[in-house]
Structure 1
Amino acid sequence: MTDLSRPARDLLDALREDARTRKKWDGTYKTGVHLPQLRSAFRAVPRPVMDDELEAAALRRYLGELYRHGVVTAMNGDDGEKIPLPKGVWLLPMRKRVPKIKEQAPAWHPRMREAARHWDGARHRTRVGLRALNNWFLSDPDLTPVPIRERALDVFGSRAYSGYFEVEEKAFDELEGSFFSNQGALHELVQAYSTPPQLVTERLVQEGGGYYGQIGDGDVLLVVENVTTCWSLIEALDGTGDHSVGYVVCGMGKAFLASLASTKMLRRGKIAEIRYFGDLDPTGLHVPAVAAERAAKDRDLPDVLPAVGLYDALLRIGTPLPRKEKQQEADRVWWLDPSHRAQATALMYSEDRLAQEWVGLRHLNGNSYWLEGLHR
């Protein structure tokens, strides 16, 4: 197309750009540009001005070049003027349409036969979820029932699935389609159960007034950032007497800062210190560090300290995954136990995170080292 005049090339480029902008045209099919848009594009094209040449004549001349090069064709009919112009032009395809390659379904595990019915009409992320679940079953996993967000990390807790979900532990919350929307069938399939929000157990309602779960007669208040891990820790602590935890509370992220002063109601000589366990990410460190600073200024509040053994478990068994929060500040790492600060600092600067749900019920029930900091 090098022998096209410069104004004709510029006109063609302007028409194609207009089609891309207005119609999301990808150049693989014929699309129309009507005369008003044609005139508008032409007026924006720099061109030499010839004495006494009318706009219609100039436009007609440059369109003639484009016709001869086979890049546009005229629509039927004209505007009926003295120098007739077509009612519009057809932009002809620039390239061939690339056929979509049908994504092949995996060889289904026997437990996933139902998924085969949902594959063909599923969106891409739903197919990612189906494939991940199938791969997990093929790995011969431990099917001991666990909370659903712990199970989500079992299935999606690798970098292969990073970027598909806001956070991997909530993947089952985000997946769409009829296969994943049937929560009862899904929980039965993956052998998982939901953990109720805020009111963590029946005993918590009966004995804790709806806010604190009394787990023993110790003098430690354990604050856990997320509901799932709070549930699992209550279950695990129930099975052992080797701790000094008196109460367990779900901190609900930043809500803990707003309710910190309410722990004075439990103080009354019974709570000697608060131990905190949360995600290892910027927010997960910000909350307890700020709480610790406030407690240090208020003589009626116990110290806010890390649950050392739980963070040790998280750093041992958790898989770091990319995080959405892009802050790289590591200034809150000081709050952690000295033995964990170097690893946590590296985690912050790598823009990864560790979800506390990695320390799941199976691990808690199978080990005891995580109790460090929870006995006095």
Structure 2
Amino acid sequence: MSRPPALPGGGLGALAAHLSAAVAAHRRQTVQLDELYRAAVGFDRSLATSVAARGELLDALTELERAGIVTLPRGAAHYDRRSSPPLPRWIRRTPAARPAAPPDTGRVWPSALQAAARIARRPEEVAVLEAVAGFLRDGGAERISVPLRERSLELFGDEKRLDALLSSRLFASGALTLSLLRCHPVPMPFAAQWVPGVDSAEVELLVAENHHTYASLLEATRAHSAAGGPARWVGYGGGQQFCSAVASVPLLQPAPTRIRYFGDLDRRGLEIPVAAAVTATVAGLPTVEPAILLYTALLAHGRRASAAVVPAHSAAAVSSWLGPLASAAARLLTDGQRLAQEAVGLERLLAHPEWL
């Protein structure tokens, strides 16, 4: 995966822009790999478990080097080669001349921007304040809150500009806030359909990792509900996307009071709901639980396939989410095997509605 070079004028991708701000704010000129990784995950939580995370991080660092913002080390000894692609163990911030402070024009800022005005010393920062001041002058404070990228396009003519600005010192200091701009971040949505049925005390959301299993679960749930089964949401997690997309659950109405998840029995398939459970907890949502009966069926009927051997401590950690099935799942991982969830297919689901 290769990203285009930095755009003229300092245009950077969203991840590169975030890392640029983190490097600029770092207390030392040299920034270690673990610190860069934490900054990247802080920007996009899905990178914590994504198999493509190393490639995305390397692309962003290469973009920063092309833009003259950082210098990457030379020589294989300075690269972490435990996985592919190799990543620099450290990067060095490129020294830059202190930009001249803009001349004091006697500009009087609105009271809501005075704290930000004391920070803004670069021309681009002053330009941001000018845009926000115009928004407030035109009654922006009284407008409804809209998705972040809608407001970003309105203010700056660039729907992604606010994404990058959130890591700048104007926002990191609290001098500017999304609340002031009357906008809010929007989690990545995921597909979900409501299946009417018998009302129950709780509103359940059943999520499948893969889209073929989602289609089968949806059809089987409809058949089950038509025969007197409960109403529920059936959702498609979109694989890795569910780690962050779970935060969009409040958009569903009626709001789910229980979230159950069913995915592949392999390392990645278990890392996804574990990460999603963290996101859900932080967002104050119901915890992400395993669909125990479906996983039990997968262990009984799944076709074992070869996979990378997972060390025992890692297998135990990622499998603990499965509760009573944790030991069986951990053995599967340490034996270098996996089970695809498609083994619990439509025919079996229709024959065993009790699994739902």
Q: Shorter-chain TM-score: which interval? A: 0.3 to 0.5
Q: TM-score if structure 2 supplies the norm length? A: 0.42
Q: TM-score if structure 1 supplies the norm length? A: 0.40
In terms of Rg, which structure is larger? 1
